[in-house]
Amino acid sequence: MNIVYIATSTIPSRTASSIHVMKMCQAFAQNGHEVTLIVPDRKIDREPGVEDVFSFYGVEKCFEILYLPLLPVKGKGIISGILAGGKIRRMQPDIIYGRDLPGCFFASLLDLPVVFESHAPIENYFYSRMFRNLIAKPVFQKLVVITHALKEYYSKRDPILSENIIVAPDGADPVPEDRRPILLLNKENKLQVGYVGHLYKGKGMEVISNLVRQCDWADFHIVGGAEKDISYWRKKTKDQQNIFFYGFLPHAKTVEYILAFDVTLVPNQKHVSTCITDEDIGKWTSPLKIFEYMAAGKAIICSDLPVLREVLENGHNALLCDPDDINSWKEALTFLSEREDVRIQLGENAKNDFIRKYSWYSRAEKILNEMKP
Report the distance separating Cα 137 and Cα 114, nearest Å.
9
What is the second-level CATH architecture of the domain 191-356? 3-Layer(aba) Sandwich (3.40)
pTM value is: 0.94
pLDDT at residue 371 in the model: 83
Question: At a CB cut-off of 8 Å and minimum separation 6, what does 10 contact?
Answer: 18, 39, 40, 42, 45, 46
pLDDT at residue 372 in the model: 60
Mean pLDDT per 10-residue run, the chain (373 residues)? 95 95 98 97 92 97 94 82 89 95 94 94 93 96 96 95 94 95 84 95 94 97 96 96 95 96 96 63 89 98 96 98 97 98 98 96 95 64
Q: What is the DSSP string of 298-355?
A: -EEEEE--TTTTTT--BTTTBEEE-TT-HHHHHHHHHHHHH-HHHHHHHHHHHHHHHH
pLDDT at residue 162 in the model: 84
pLDDT at residue 320 in the model: 98
Give the model confidence (pLDDT) of 181-222 as tens digits: 999 977 778 999 999 999 988 899 999 999 999 999 999 999
pLDDT at residue 276 in the model: 53
Where exactly are the structural domains of the chain? 2-171+359-370, 191-356
- Name the CATH superfamily housing domain 2-171+359-370: Glycogen Phosphorylase B; (3.40.50.2000)
Give the model confidence (pLDDT) of 244-290 as tens digits: 999 999 999 999 999 999 999 999 998 876 655 556 677 888 899 99
